[in-house]
Amino acid sequence: MALEITAARPDPALLDLPWRIPLEEWPEDILAALPRGISRHVVRFVRLSGRVLAVKEIKADLARREYELLRNLNRLGMPCVEPFAVISGRVGADGRELDACLVTRHLQFSLPYRALYSQTLRKGTATRLIDALAVLLVRLHLAGFWWGDVSLSNTLFRRDAGAFAAYLVDAETGELRQRLSDGQREHDLDIARINIAGELMDLEAGGLLQEDRDPVAVSERIMTRYRELWGELTGPELIDDGERWRVEDRMRRLNALGFDVDELEITTDLDGTSIRIQPKVVDAGHHSRRLLRLTGLDVRENQARRLLNDLDAFTAATGRQGEDEEIVAHEWLTRIYEPVTRRVPRGLVAKLEPAELFHEVLEHRWYLAERARHDIPIEQAIDDYVASVLPGKPDEQSVLGVDTRELPVIAGPNAQP
Amino acid sequence: MAQRTLTTGGKGAVARVPIDPPARHTGDTADTDVGGSFTLYNGSSGTFLPVKEGNDVMATVKFDQASRIYPGNDTPSVDRLDIDVADGEFLVLVGPSGCGKSTSLRMLAGLEEVNDGKIWIGDRDVTDLSPKDRDVAMVFQNYALYPHMTVADNMGFALKIAGVDKGEIRKRVQEAAGILDLTDYLERKPKALSGGQRQRVAMGRAIVRSPQVFLMDEPLSNLDAKLRVQTRTQIASLQRRLGVTTVYVTHDQIEAMTMGDRIALLKDGILQQCATPREMYDRPNNVFVAGFIGSPAMNLVSVPVTEDGVQFGSHRLHVDRSLLGSSGNEVIVGMRPEDVEVTTNEDGLELIVDVVEELGADAYVYATPANPDIRLEGVGDDALAKPFIARVDGRRVPDKGSKIFVYPNPDHMHVFDKESGARLG
């Protein structure tokens, strides 16, 4: 059987990887990180043409299915890992057929939840992760994706101006539908709650849960956060004819949550005394789209919100409110954002992404100013931050962990009958 | 006093072990009262299983003309499905990909809308109930164990989330561990267990919730062949020990044959036959069932109808004309590989031997009709000519390339209508 590579943009270097060897036995010198823990499937990280790839060994039909699903999710603009290739038709040196491999790109600056818990945590990290997962789940459900195995293990997190943004990593159990029924959404939520509670209880049992929070209570939060957000994004609202400002108000509330309304359904009752409004199509990324349009910076939603606030402050401070927004934004970019983010010495760039660094510098400036009881210029804040805070941060550009560290029950090479 | 019982006997001989009722929990998890007859705690992981008192209701399942039409489709994905599953029965839904078996299971689980008809669990109409109020458990949906938690905690943690009190959790975990032969391992970590024991822990996670019905959707699909065989035996024997009504979906007819008390075979959303494995094998309702059940598959050949039967090559087979009734000039005759008479006496259908598969005591002969106009019917890839398969004595095996003649053993042959595919007689 011939080795078969399915990829949108195949990299010839893929052929150099040792596909005739079972993934579990790949030599350490090609791995980007040593394997840790046990995963449901064998997963390894390799470095190839300057990027890090995650390779998962899995049955060929499942690999192809997941590859297609991830491609479709990417097309829909969903936050998830990017599929890179499927390698099938593998034959071992002994002539035995080997399972196929699904290759995905490693998401830079992403953190598995276990890595977050092994760091000294800021208070409330557990709940911030849940909040990020709730947003991800709502977005996936709006797009018609039925996940089937929602968990912290199947999610990666990126810092997002003090909060987190969640990305789907494992789509193995997922299905893309036209629209999800309430039962299907509830099913995902139910699975999410049990998995999160189990994952946190496991950390607790392993002495890794630093915050004194009840795992069950934290897991309940996925339900409430999800329902709040889902209700705000999709729920109908009845308003009196004299309260038309509330239509505008609803749009603003959705914007504040980071969503744009692409389609709003407005129906009036027969005598015209009340109006029913219901968002039909909503699109995440309100702030990040606006920032992208103004500055060309492609960052996450909360980072964009933070940067836009700083842009507003800059506009006000320089008395440019009446001017063309794009021109002021360009000036802010070249006078403030770029000089600040370029101030980081080469040796420290793997610590944080530029936008997150900028957010941290703004935070740092606020603390400095509070202590000094007067305003601190951003130049001074960045210098102080680089000197005193940044060196102590862990490198987060390529934190690699297996997708899940749980024990395989049925599948997997470790399961000895 | 309300008593909760956990069923532990096999089918027919059901022993019910009374358990003290759980203390009503006062935590902040939501309780859902259904019908006021028992308390339901909110569902669980891929298991949707509420935990309740008074689980001694009959857990029958009934698909009553249940249909599912996906938006934008003209034809239903599940078309007026009628199946009655008995209390404690292991029913397997089987069929090729796209036949509607998973959709049917999900309709029962509450994950797929029922557009027409009804679904009953016991005497409850669950058609419009939410998944978690149906008291069904999707087993194996996520089969991960947590490495830092003990086996007992791995089995019982979902009950904790449901707000069941500690004493009650301990009791149920111990009982499930007894059934699963895990009592000595309860305080160990999963890492110390064998693969088989880990599987049982995962089953224990569902068992402690004591659902009315277990649902399993291709739970073995990503296992390698060896583990698949072991696990399917374990699941089947455990199900018989627990006596919990189970609906199991697979595309694999061998899995269906070996596991199910009864099998429901679907094609294009329509139920073809629902019967015991033996009945499906011996008396398939139609050509599709005949070709799907059994491995290697039944040989199906179109043959001309004669005055007193059918003409099978040069061999005349007597078939009661009344059975052939209104069938046209041709019918389809089916015979299993073990029911084929093989001869070199120019009596029967002439075949050329392609391959002989030696199995020791027996051998399978794969052959093609000498007359290229004769094609074998049946399920599968129509582009490929299907071979005729006969099981022969391992000591008298024809040579590859040789000419043989075959006809069916008249006591074990099947006759189907050429047009409708329906069984005749």
Q: What is the pLDDT of residues B298-329, one digit of tens each?
A: 999 999 998 888 999 999 999 888 888 777 88
Is A274 in the B-facing interface, judged by CB distances under 8 Å?
A: no
Nearest to A416 among B71, B147, B195 (CB): B195
B39 has pLDDT over 80: no
Cα dihedral: A317, A323, A324, A327 (round 10): -50
Nearest to B232 by CA among B103, B106, B104, B140: B140
Closest CA of chain B from A287, distance in Å: 34
pLDDT digits (tens, 9 = 90+) for A94-114: 999 999 999 999 888 888 888
Which residues 355-374 of B have a C-beta within 8 angstroms of A? none
Q: A64 — contact with chain B (CB < 8 Å)?
A: no
Q: What is the dihedral of CA B116, B117, B122, B126, to 10 degrees?
A: 20
Greatest mean pLDDT among A168-182, B102-116, B200-214 lies in B102-116
Residue B201 near chain A (CB below 8 Å):
yes
Q: Give the CATH fold of the A4-107 domain.
A: Phosphorylase Kinase; domain 1 (3.30.200)
Per-residue pLDDT for B403 more than 50?
Answer: yes
- Taking alpha carbons only, the member of A24, A53, A36, A39 closest to residue A404 is A39
Higher per-residue confidence, A246 vs B108: B108
Residues contacting A367, CB < 8 A, separation 6+: none
Contact (CB<8Å) B143/A415: no
Is it the case that residue B86 has pLDDT exceeding 80?
yes
CATH code of domain A110-232: 1.10.510.10
- Phi, psi (5° rounding) for residue B18? -70, 140
Q: In this complex, which of A148, A202, A220 lies closest to B147 when CB atoms are compared?
A: A202
* A41, A42, A47, A52: CA torsion to nearest 10: 20
Q: Is-contact B405 B344, C-beta < 8 A? A: yes
Nearest CB neighbour to A409, from listed B149, B158, B199: B199
pLDDT band at A417 (very low <50, low <70, confident <90, very high): very low
Q: Which of A308-317, B19-28, B147-156 has the lowest mean pLDDT?
A: B19-28
Q: Does the structure show a pLDDT above 80 at A61?
A: yes
Tens-place pLDDT, residues A356-386 = 999 999 999 999 999 999 989 999 999 999 9
Whether B158 and A220 lie within 8 Å, measured CB to CB: no
**pLDDT for A41-60, tens place per residue?**
788 889 888 888 999 998 89
pLDDT score at A271? 74
- Which pLDDT score is estimated for B88? 94
CA distances from B247 to A305, B28, B52, B143, B256 (A): 50, 33, 20, 18, 11
pLDDT tens digits along B175-194 = 999 988 899 999 999 888 88
Distance CA A235, CA B367 (A): 65
Q: Is B48 left (phi over 0), alpha (psi -120 to 50) or beta?
A: left
Chain A within 8 Å of B10 (Cβ-Cβ)? no
What is the rounded distance in angstroms from the CA atom of residue A254 to the CA atom of residue A72?
A: 26
What residues 212-231 of chain B have any CB closer than 8 A to a CB of chain A?
219-220, 222-223, 226-227, 230-231
Among B154, B156, B29, CA closest to A199 = B154
CB contact under 8 A, B153 and A151: no
Domain boundaries, chain A: 4-107, 110-232, 235-284, 287-343+352-392
**Rounded to a whole number, what is the largest CA-CA distance in chain B?**
82
- pLDDT above 90 covers a percentage of chain B that reads 58
User: Is the CB of residue B140 less than 8 Å away from at least one CB of chain A?
Assistant: yes
Q: Is the pLDDT of residue B43 over 60?
A: no
Q: How confident is the model at residue A118 (pLDDT cuts 50, 70, 90)?
A: low
Quote the mean pLDDT of chain A: 86
- SS3 of B77, please? coil
Cβ distance of B144 and A186 shorter than 8 Å: no
- Phi/psi-derived region of residue B18, left when phi > 0, alpha when psi is between -120 and 50, beta in every other case: beta
- Would you call A191 and B46 a contact, using CB atoms and an 8 Å cutoff? yes
Label residues B174-194 b or e (16+ Cβ within 10 Å = b). Answer: bbbbebbebeebbeebbeebe
Question: In angstroms, rounded to a whole number, what is the distance separating the alpha carbons of residues A187 and B364?
Answer: 47
Helix (H, G, I), strand (E, B) or coil at A257: coil
Residue B143: its chain A contacts at CB < 8 A?
408-411
Q: What are the chain A neighbours of B148 within 8 Å (beta carbons)?
A: 202-203, 205-206, 208
Query: If you average pLDDT over residues A166-189, what whole number do you get?
Result: 91
**Contact in structure between B137 and B47 (CB atoms under 8 Å):** yes
CB contact under 8 A, A194 and B145: no
**Does the pLDDT value for residue B278 go beyond 70?**
yes
Residue A205 sits at the chain B interface (C-beta within 8 Å): yes
Smallest CA–CA distance, residue B149 to chain A, in Å, is: 6
pTM of the model: 0.80
CA distance A70 to chain B (A): 19
Q: How near does any CA of chain A get to the CA of B105, in Å?
A: 13
Q: What share of chain B is helix, strand, coil (3-state, %, to 5)?
A: 25, 30, 45
Peptide bond into B296 cis (omega under 30): yes
Instruction: Check residue B50 and give its pLDDT.
Output: 41
The first and second tokens of residue B26, run together, are 């006062």
Q: Work out the angle between the directed axes of helices A245-256 and A215-234 (0-180°, nearest 10).
A: 140
| A288-315 confidence digits (pLDDT tens) | 888 988 888 889 989 998 999 999 889 9
In the predicted structure, residue B15 carries a pLDDT above the cut 50: no
Is the per-residue pLDDT at A76 higher than 70? yes
